[in-house]
Amino acid sequence: MESIDKLPSDEPEQLLVKSQDSTDPDYGIEPEKRDIDSLLQYGVINLDKPSGPTSHEVVSWIRKILKISLAGHGGTLDPKVTGVLPCALGKATRVLSALLTAGKEYVGVMYLHTLESTRKLEKVFQVFTGKIYQTPPIKSSVVRKLRIREIYYNRLLEVDNNHVLFRVGCEAGTYIRKLCFDIGEALCSGAHMLELRRTRVGKFKEDNSLVTLQNVKDAFRIYTEEGDESYLRKVVMPMENMVAHIPKIYIRDTAVDAICHGADLAAAGVCLIDARIKPDSNIALMTLKKELIGFSIAKMHAMKIYKAKAGIVATSNKVFMERGTYPRWTEIKSKNKIE
């Protein structure tokens, strides 16, 4: 089923061109062109989690199938819940924090303890849209404190006697089981969740990129036994997909190595700016080849960065790119002079 509703991350990237610059093919590499060994260290799988195992068990199987030592998932699903479970591989696990704030979408079945009219159900679903108060359930991994979560959309899809099919888009950290319980309380008759499937995590969706554990196993076998890497490349995507929903700044080659050494981003290093950037917001720093360098915190909104002639425009937070991937700016300058 194609969702007609939108999460905040669906707002398209709008790039402001601060300065024109080219990127040297001798340094770095476009994410899609990484070799298989690099992809298995800087990749992510849009996995369709089956019902039964825990998210931790599923990740353990991924490690065994791909013969790698490190893997992690972006957002725990209960054992019986199925659907989108992004699994990062190797060093890409450090980027999983980007998915903690990504919006989620679920399709589920709720069981009503008493028959209710569709009109009444629609009104209650409308009440549980926008900012809501929610206390995590008893069986949860977080402190049971009242907190605010945002429901971006909450749609009643179908009603069959006591069974209600619904779709909900929500802020990260929303408990759908608790949402169903609260809807039942609002109906004054009670309700509980029967089944649940996660259909989105940020930009990870139920589309052609969603794969099963069997798909992963088959693709890796074909690669190791036949030397055909085409199937594995369809299964494992570059880690940059995990930051697709985050506003970005693209920087020139000469600024990359300084960022890798922990420097803050100066205005002189900026080429392209996402118009969605706001002060104190988390942003991703990218090379002109669209490689992820790291995370930063914006010091000002996009238009101010665009107009800035000098000064720091973003402070470094996390760095993922290896030092030396791009040379120091003095080396690039010397190379350009020789050429």
Least Cα distance to 282 among 75, 100, 149, 132 occurs for: 100
Residue 19 lies in a domain: no
Same domain? For 110 and 175 the reply is yes
What is the average per-residue pLDDT within 191-198? Answer: 97
- Asked if 114 and 190 touch (Cβ cutoff 8 Å), the reply is yes
pLDDT at 335: 58
Share of the chain above pLDDT 90, in %: 86
CATH of the domain at 169: 3.30.70.3190
Same domain? For 260 and 327 the reply is yes
Tens digit of each residue's pLDDT (9 = 90 or more) over 106-138: 999 999 999 999 999 999 999 999 999 998 776
- Total domains present in the chain: 3
What is the average per-residue pLDDT within 199-203? Answer: 95
Of residues 96 and 11, more confidently modeled: 96
Q: At which of 241, 266, 301 does a domain end?
A: 241
Same domain? For 169 and 186 the reply is yes
Q: The whole model's pTM is what? A: 0.91
Secondary structure (3-state) at 269: helix
Same domain? For 85 and 219 the reply is yes
CATH of the domain at 273: 2.30.130.10
User: Average pLDDT, whole number, for the chain?
Assistant: 93
Which residues are marked as active site? 78
pLDDT band at 332, cuts 50/70/90? low
Cα–chain center distance at 260: 22
Structural domain boundaries, residue 74: 41-101+204-241
What is the average per-residue pLDDT within 90-100? Answer: 95
pLDDT band at 337, cuts 50/70/90? low
Q: What does DSSP assign to residue 30? A: -
